[in-house]
Amino acid sequence: MKKVYSIAGLKVELTGSYTLQQVTQLPGFDVFEIEDLSDTNADVYIHLDSDINIVNLTNIHRVHHTEMMDIEHTFSRCEEGYIYEMHRQDGSKIVSIVYDLKSNHVFMSPSDCLMSVKYAMWVAFTLSAIEKNVIPIHASSIVKDSEAVMFLGESGTGKSTHTGLWLKYI
């Protein structure tokens, strides 16, 4: 299964089955989906449901480790690229993400936690988008005459709704 999205001017290709089905059920992704009629390659490739074995990666160095909402988040660097992992308090894995610098492809393991899938997708996109000089900010914005208004906030607080209303009435 494959879906193509246009996010921040980047063509993003997602492949997978189980996790891609989860993504299509999450709010907020549908507005970015596009029909892929072009012959151009994607800017970002995210391969969901990948069998990730961290043991096969070389020279792993932990860059950052934190705990939020009883979930451990670890970001590491390796010779091949970057690794991001989420684990529960009992040590069980929620999701692993590997960004391969050489291929500019992101590989993400399946996850049984729908809430974590949305966050993991943001991380997966961010890892390769940065290489394209795009820094994701969770916001909605309007640009007019080289100036912008940006709405920041948590998911579901009305950023896109406000953007739409501004475009319609102001």
Q: Give dist(CA 132, CA 135) in Å, integer.
A: 9
pLDDT tens for each residue of 97-153: 999 999 989 999 999 888 889 889 989 999 988 888 888 787 888 888 889 888 888
pLDDT tens for each residue of 60-101: 999 999 998 899 999 999 999 999 999 999 999 999 999 999
Cα-based distances in Å from 126 to 10, 92, 170: 12, 24, 32
Predicted TM-score (pTM) of this structure: 0.81
Token pair in block for residue 98: 């590997």
Q: Give dist(CA 89, CA 70) in Å, integer.
A: 6
How confident is the model at residue 55, as a pLDDT?
80
Looking at 6-15, 56-65, 159-168, which range is the least confident one?
159-168
Band (pLDDT 50/70/90 cuts) for residue 162 is confident
Single-letter residue type at 85:
E
pLDDT tens for each residue of 7-16: 888 999 999 9
Q: Give dist(CA 15, CA 13) in Å, integer.
A: 7
Cα-based distances in Å from 69 to 60, 78, 86, 88: 25, 27, 11, 10
